[in-house]
Amino acid sequence: MGSIAENIKRLLDGLAPGVTVVAVTKTRTVGEAMEAYNAGLRIFGENRVQELAAKREQLPGDISWHLIGHLQSNKVKPAVASAAMIESVDTVRLLRLIDAEALAQGRRIDCLLQVHIASEESKSGFSITEMKATDWGKVASSLKAARICGVMGMATFTDDKEKVRSEFSILTDLFGQLRDVHFSHDSHFREISMGMTSDWQVAVEEGST
């Protein structure tokens, strides 16, 4: 397997320029997260708000923390206080709650729209139909402190790489449609967050940023 630092170096050496790595610290200790930091990573992701807030207090202040797990409405306040980006916005109502809380806290927060592209029903996110039916330009222009920066999606957990590729391709195509129709003049709408340890190479090939 090699050390965390060796694995990260191997990963970074194989990435195309412009692709961002989010180091997911779920189930990892603060010490292991620090190894990733020392290896050069500065964007970390957590599934749970409490874990994100706790690790943020114990790790260097120049880390940008992304919340990647499902966010309940009663956890919006601490999420906004701790995260630089919330990647798991799965309803317009949640987006508006995040916006109101960010405004109350006097800060800007970046958000990604989570899209359901997998075959598992357990995964969260807007359906493709919902994404296409929503006037995202109107939604975005109504926000005061939250900013829609792109989309996020998790593929089906399977060894079938072509199925995974197809799902990632759907998300990339949707991103392009949204950008052209609703965000053509918004330079912040540029992120496609997809790919985990098992499928990141396919994700990059299909347009992950």
pLDDT (tens digit, 0 to 9) for every residue of the chain, 209 residues total? 457 777 777 777 767 677 788 888 888 889 999 988 998 889 999 999 999 999 999 999 999 999 999 999 999 999 999 999 999 999 999 999 999 999 999 999 999 999 999 888 777 899 999 999 999 999 999 999 999 999 999 888 888 889 989 999 999 999 999 999 999 999 999 999 987 766 667 766 776 65
Q: What is the CATH number of the domain that holds 35?
A: 3.20.20.10
Q: What are the residues facing 45 on neighbouring strands?
A: 24, 66
Q: Identify the domain containing residue 92 by its residue range.
A: 4-205
Distances, alpha carbon 79 to alpha carbons 3, 46, 89, 98, 200, in Å: 31, 11, 12, 9, 26
- Please name the residues in contact with 170: beta carbons below 8 A apart, sequence gap of 6 or more: 117, 128
Q: How many domains does the chain have?
A: 1
> Model's pTM, two decimal places?
0.91
Q: Are 63 and 52 in contact (CB under 8 A)?
A: no
Cα dihedral angle (131, 132, 134, 135), rounded to 10 degrees? 120
